[in-house]
């Protein structure tokens, strides 16, 4: 889709008598030099990727930050540099190498990378295995296999391998800090220098111009918002507090500029979850910190909304939004009706990715899609993953007690799990829920680590005060 600037220029030339009908249209404005823009894109892209590579070599957990920034970094490279637009797999391969190298380094550094294999990871592996098996009886087996071929590398890299980079809360804190820095830098670049179309970044020029997926941009921006909102009041970390305060409104602006209503709405319940975990509301000090954090986030968020022009058709069209929601439930209902037509499909499902054949598109609501395509058997596995993740959050929170810094890290990952889960019920499929499953596995691994270091588990009996202690040997 041509950008507003291109549309404005063409409209002005072809219909000069109607120029007043286009507000803020200046066709005489100088367009940026494409060579300068490409050089900026190449330098910043390579700089960000190199930074992640060096960081991952020093601390393997930083590879997780590369995974969280993957899609937006990829879009930035594609829309600014011709070579990355022609070879879109470069970013995928680069981040994949970072993850694999990180896991190998951990294998040499620690005695066993796979020793902590939580219940959530087992259920995730079983869910994917069962979903792949259902392609045998899917309505269109070839289409189902095509979906697996397209999303399979992301499933392996993000959902199955990347969580191995995180073993404890200190690893996760490092990964989240780098996500704020690198992800925030990407948000700044695409907001300040990105060639925006209607909602996404422009890819290509002229009649062949398309737009990148705005939902991915807003997904990273939401991640930066939730992480930075917890780092704003970090004690004895003045630089982090300043950076978080600066990046939060920029990330909010990216969400609004991309027109991603679901991402903006999902931030609110996810932030509420983070606050419930980060602040123990048993003292005036905690209540004051919670109030201050909420006010700062709301104020910075409002300021961020003023940095971009709001598209009224996206943000003020309540009727259009309700139609979008209604159409998704209609597709889900049609898919469920097809699954309920036979007792076997009720239990075992229509087969993974059968929605494309049954209703012409995927219904966007993952939990209903799982029920229809994988049946009750698949739904049980899917719900088991979510239950394990929630259980891990509760158990880890209890084990941390009064450690505010670690509670904030847990609060961030819990909020991100909530954020991605909400998005998956608004725009996702089982195969594209890799971030939801990655966070579930990470929470399980941290829970196992916390249990190993628990004073209850590692309790040492005090020495007995006996007159002849050697008699006990």
pLDDT at 174: 95
- Indicate if the pLDDT at residue 28 is higher than 50: no
pLDDT, average across residues 313-335: 74
Cα pseudo-dihedral 410, 250, 162, 391, rounded to 10: 30
29-51 residue pLDDT tens: 444 455 556 788 889 999 999 99
Beta strands (DSSP E) in 216-366 are none
Does residue 24 fall inside a structural domain?
no
* Residues whose CB falls within 8 Å of the CB of residue 259, separated by 6 or more in sequence, listed in order: 198, 199, 214, 311, 314, 315
Please tell me the number of Cα atoms within 13 Å of 182 on its side-chain side: 32
Beta strands (DSSP E) in 5-146 are none
- Indicate if the pLDDT at residue 143 is higher than 70: yes
Does residue 3 fall inside a structural domain?
no
Helix%, strand%, coil% for the chain, nearest 5: 75, 0, 25
Better-predicted residue by pLDDT, 473 or 87: 87
Does residue 470 fall inside a structural domain?
no
Contact between 257 and 402 under an 8 Å Cβ cutoff? The reply is: no
In what helix (H) or strand (E) does residue 182 lie, and over which residues does it extend? helix 169-192
What letters, b where the CB count within 10 A reaches 16 and e where it falls short, cover 255-290?
bbbbbbbbbbebbeebbebbbebbbbeeeeeeeebb
Percent of residues, the chain, with pLDDT higher than 90: 57
Does residue 21 fall inside a structural domain?
no
DSSP codes of every residue in 443-471 = HHHHHHHHHHT-TTTT--PPPP--S-GGG
User: Could you tell me how many residues make up the chain?
Assistant: 473
Question: Domains in the chain: how many in total?
Answer: 1
Contact between 398 and 390 under an 8 Å Cβ cutoff? The reply is: no
pLDDT, average across residues 127-144: 95
266-297 residue pLDDT tens: 999 999 999 999 887 777 777 888 888 899 99
pLDDT, average across residues 387-407: 88
pTM of the model: 0.87
- Indicate if the pLDDT at residue 383 is higher than 90: yes
Structure confidence at residue 312 as a pLDDT band (50, 70, 90): low
Domain range for residue 329? 32-451
202-238 residue pLDDT tens: 887 666 678 899 999 999 999 999 999 999 988 878 8
In what helix (H) or strand (E) does residue 202 lie, and over which residues does it extend? strand 202-203
Does residue 457 fall inside a structural domain?
no
pLDDT at 2: 38
């Amino acid at each position: 889709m041509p950008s507003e600037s291109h549309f404005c220029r063409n409209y002005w030339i072809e219909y000069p008598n109607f120029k007043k009908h286009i507000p803020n249209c200046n066709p005489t404005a100088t367009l940026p030099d494409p060579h300068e823009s490409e050089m900026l894109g190449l330098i910043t892209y390579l700089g960000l990727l190199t930074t992640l590579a060096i960081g991952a070599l020093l601390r393997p957990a930083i590879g997780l930050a590369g995974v969280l920034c993957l899609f937006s970094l990829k879009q930035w490279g594609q829309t600014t540099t011709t070579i990355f637009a022609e070879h879109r797999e470069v970013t995928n391969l680069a981040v994949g190498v970072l993850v694999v190298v990180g896991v190998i380094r951990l294998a040499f550094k620690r005695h066993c990378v796979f020793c902590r294999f939580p219940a959530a990871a087992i259920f995730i592996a079983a869910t994917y295995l069962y979903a792949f098996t259902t392609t045998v009886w899917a309505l269109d087996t070839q289409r189902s296999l095509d979906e697996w071929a397209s999303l399979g590398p992301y499933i392996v890299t993000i959902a199955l391998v990347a969580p191995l980079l995180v073993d404890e809360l200190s690893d996760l804190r490092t990964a989240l800090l780098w996500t704020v820095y690198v992800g925030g830098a990407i948000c700044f670049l695409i907001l300040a220098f990105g060639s925006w179309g209607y909602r996404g970044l422009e890819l290509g020029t002229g009649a062949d111009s398309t737009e990148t997926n705005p939902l991915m941009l807003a997904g990273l921006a939401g991640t930066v918002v939730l992480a930075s909102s917890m780092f704003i009041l970090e004690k004895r970390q003045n630089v982090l507090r300043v950076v978080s305060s600066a990046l939060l409104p920029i990330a909010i602006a990216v969400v609004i500029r991309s027109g991603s209503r679901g991402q903006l709405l999902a931030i609110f319940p996810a932030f509420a979850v983070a606050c419930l975990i980060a602040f123990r509301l048993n003292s005036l000090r905690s209540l004051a910190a919670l109030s201050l954090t909420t006010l700062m986030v709301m104020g910075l968020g409002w300021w961020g909304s003023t940095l971009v022009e709001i598209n009224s058709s996206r943000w003020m069209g309540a009727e259009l939004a309700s139609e979008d929601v209604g159409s998704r439930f209609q597709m889900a209902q049609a898919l469920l009706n097809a699954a309920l037509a036979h007792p076997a499909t009720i239990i075992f499902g229509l087969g993974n990715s059968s929605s494309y054949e049954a209703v012409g598109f995927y219904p966007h609501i993952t939990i209903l899609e799982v029920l229809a395509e994988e049946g009750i058997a698949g739904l049980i596995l899917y719900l088991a993953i979510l239950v394990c993740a929630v259980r891990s959050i509760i158990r880890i929170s209890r084990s941390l007690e009064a450690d505010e810094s670690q509670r904030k890290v847990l609060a961030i990952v819990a909020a991100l799990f909530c954020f991605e889960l909400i998005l998956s019920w608004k725009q996702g499929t089982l195969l594209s829920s890799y971030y939801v499953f990655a966070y579930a596995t990470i929470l399980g691994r941290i829970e196992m680590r916390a249990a190993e270091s628990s004073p209850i588990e590692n309790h040492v009996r005090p020495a007995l005060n006996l007159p002849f202690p050697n008699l006990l040997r």
